[in-house]
Structure 1
Amino acid sequence: MIGGSRYFGRRLIEELREDGAAVTVLNRGSTPAPPGVTHLRADRDDEEALRTALAGRRFDAVIDQVCYTPRQAAVAARVFAPLTDRYLLTSTVEVYAELGRPGGPALPESAFDPATHPVNLELPWTEGEFLEARYGEGKRQAEALLTREAAFDLVTVRTAHVLGGADFTGRLAHYVERIERGLPVAVHAAPQPASFVHAPEIARFLAWAAAGEFTGPVNAAAHGTLDARELCAAIGRTVGAEPVLVAGAGEAPSPFSFAHAYPMDTARAAALGFRFSSVADWLPRAVQEVRA
């Protein structure tokens, strides 16, 4: 596994080990690996360092948690070609941003076709502000490059907005803290629905997908969507406080308040044999995890 999201990376390692896998984690060394796994250190942007760290090894599957740009995808395509037959890119719901429409149907994998999406390796992908503002586009182009150039079987797991777990981004905590304290939460005048997934469940799905034989894009999301108002109401019920919402007051909308709708269709995952839970089943628990 390359990297390891603080959201669900450790949970994924636990899932893999429970399935009997021998796990190797590769990162820059700033985050220690859990006991019982092989820990390799290299900067994934340094192709020669990556080759050196992986020399002499072979993997049944590679799960890449930190591929954000087509440049990184190009390096992965070259380095892992002789090392694995199966590669999972952890992608994102943001590849669908602005493709949905209010009241429209949930978006299937075919809504975004990486085989036809343009790739530009010359853009300043190493500049932090540039990349942060183009997170979804970076993932689109990473998918596109690997789809065209990878010699291994490719799976792109398009992950919904993750809730629960470590919540290192602070997005769910933003809502929980403000609602508990009676502070206003800024939302769009007409916030649109989005898809979410619980951190433990996306870890289970990635471990399951790594052992599979299917290829191509696959959506990973809980059943049911929430817009920002519905999310606030659900949090309010859990913490026992009435949300105070403000819209159009000149303040930037809170995270998870979206002007465009892009709910995800998970029919393909179900057809392959994985059935996601409903967001209502675990959201109260995710809120309590943040409070704890």
Structure 2
Amino acid sequence: MQRICVIGGSRYFGKLLVRRLSAAGHRVTVLNRGSTRPPSGVEHLVADRDDEAALTAALGSRAFDVVVDQVCYTPVQAAVAARVFAGRTRRYVMTSTIEVYDPATAALPYVPPGVPVPEETVDPAGWQVAMDLPWRDAAYLEAHYAEGKRQAEAVLTRTGGFAYASVRSAHVLGGGTREFTGRLAHYTERVARGEEITVHAKALPTVFIHYEELADLLRWAATSDFTGPLNACSDGPLDVRELAAIVAAQAGREPALRTVAAGEAASPFSFDRHYAMSNARARALGFAFSRTTDWLPGAVAEALNTPPSPTT
């Protein structure tokens, strides 16, 4: 049994992570802004993680074996966490994203299409950090999401107060109404309605992970001892046409695809650039991944059975 603090943990795979940590016998504390209470038996602390004084006061004299940070988006937030949790935990795990590898958002080493992107493509130890950018501005943060994650990783990598690991998640699917990004619904609703889906002429594959598998991996990462970045994706990259075909097979009708040129806007998961991750490091450390094509039809069926939104 370990003492584990989850920052965030109020929705989607974070909520599932809290349940699974608790079911495994760990003493779990959830720290968030109070909008959603954790399940019975889980301690709940309410604080704004951006407010260092409030965060310190909420924690009091508590210490943890592990902190799992689900909602760290900027280097400023990472720096606050580094100061507050230094001496309070021996291990810190941050949930990061595949988007740190997106070549559209940073000058990154070239990886040939078809070659899965390894963790060392983005090395947080050497990544430049700019604390004076307008990270607290919501519009700026949305436009610079990938860079915010890269710089947050960099700050936590360089702190000396605890062992640090980041989990770079692939695109997360599954969960029906809990899949709050709406990206899979974009396909299921359009295919079901016979509406157009825009795709790039030379769309490149990407990688996915089921929300339950990601919760399991984060639970495993919390109680492991590896450090540094770790890619988390199911086996088997898919391109947008393969994704649309799986949706169409479940919906029982053909998708209406319209091709657009490279550089033009297209449907989610249609990429004209390559950044499909390699999960070799996680496999070598002992985590066994599923195949995307084994769980995706079920996730699509679940989404098809979810009442559609008025517009997508």
Normalising by structure 2, report the TM-score.
Answer: 0.90
1:263 deviates by 1.0
- Residue number among 31, 49, 53 corresponding to 2:54 in the alignment: 49
- Aligned residue identity for 2:284: A
| Aligned-partner Cα distance in 2 for 1:205–1:190 | 32
For residue 159 of structure 1, report the CA deviation from its aligned partner. 0.5
- Match in the other structure for 1:254: 267
Give the SS at the match of 2:12. Answer: coil
- Provide Cα deviations, 1:201-230, integer angstroms capped at 9, x if missing partner: 000000011011111111100001111111
- Are the counterparts in 1 of residues 8 and 31 from structure 2 also a CA contact under 8 Å? yes
**Structure 2 CA distance, aligned partners of 1:147 and 1:102?**
27
The answer to whether 1:274 aligns with 2:287 is yes
Q: 1:68 aligns with which of 62, 65, 73?
A: 73
Q: Is the 8 A contact 2:19 2:39 kept in 1?
A: no
Cα deviations by residue, 1:209-252 (Å, 9 ceiling, x for unpaired): 10111111111000011111111111111221111111228983
Tell me, yes or no, if the aligned pair for 1:44 and 1:50 is still in contact at 8 Å: yes
Are residue 29 (structure 1) and residue 29 (structure 2) matched?
Answer: no
Instruction: Give the structure 2 partner of residue 264 of structure 1.
Output: 277
- The one-letter code of the counterpart of 1:136 is A
CA distance in 2, matches of 1:253, 1:102: 22
2:212 maps to 1:200: yes
1:137: which partner in 2?
Answer: 147
Answering whether residue 97 of structure 2 is matched by residue 92 of structure 1, we say yes
Name structure 1 gaps, 5 residues minimum: none
**Maintained 8 Å contact 1:163/1:198:** yes
CA contact (8 A) 2:10 2:38 kept: no
> Is 1:119–2:129 an aligned residue pair?
yes
Provide the rounded CA distance (Å) in 1 between the counterparts of 2:225 and 2:184: 34
Question: Aligned partner of 2:44: which letter?
Answer: H
CA–CA distance in structure 2, aligned partners of residues 50 and 150 of structure 1: 20
Alignment equivalent of 2:9, drawn from 4, 8, 11 = 4
In the alignment, is the contact (CA less than 8 A) between 2:251 and 2:304 conserved in 1?
Answer: no
Report the Cα offset of residue 82 of structure 1: 1.5
Q: Displacement of 1:291 after TM fit?
A: 2.5
Higher mean Cα deviation, 231-240 or 194-203? 231-240
The answer on whether the counterparts of 2:10 and 2:36 sit within 8 Å (CA) in structure 1 is: no
Letter in 1 for 2:46: R
SS of the residue 1:20 aligns to: coil
Unaligned runs of 5+ in 2: 1-5, 306-312
Q: Which residue of 2 aligns with 1:284?
A: 297
Q: How far 1:193 sits from its partner (Å)?
A: 0.9
Q: For 1:182, which of 194, 215, 219 is the aligned residue?
A: 194
Aligned to 2:308: none
In 2, the alpha carbon distance for the partners of 1:270 and 1:160 equals 15
104-113 or 124-133, which deviates more: 104-113
Output the CA distance in 2 between the equivalents of 1:124 and 1:260: 28
Superposed CA deviations along residues 119-145 of structure 1, whole A, max 9, x for unmatched, are: 000000011111101111000000011
Give the equivalent residue in structure 2 for 1:59. 64
Residue by residue over 1:30-57, the C-alpha shift from the partner in whole angstroms, topping out at 9 and shown as x without a partner, is: 1222222101000000000000000111
Label 1:63 to 1:234 Cα distance change in 2 as closer, same or farther (>3 A).
Answer: same
Which amino acid in structure 1 is aligned with residue 62 of structure 2? R
Query: % of aligned pairs identical?
Result: 58
- 1:104 is displaced (CA, Å) by 3.5
TM-score normalised per structure 1: 0.96
1:245 is the counterpart of 2:242: no
CA distance in 1, matches of 2:70, 2:253: 36
- 1:223/1:276 contact within 8 Å kept: yes
Counterparts in 2 of 1:218-229, with a 5 A limit?
218-229=230-241
1:19 & 1:239 partners in 2: Cα distance?
37
Counterpart contact for 1:186–1:251, Cα < 8 Å: no
| Displacement of 1:290 | 1.7
SS in structure 1 opposite 2:166? strand
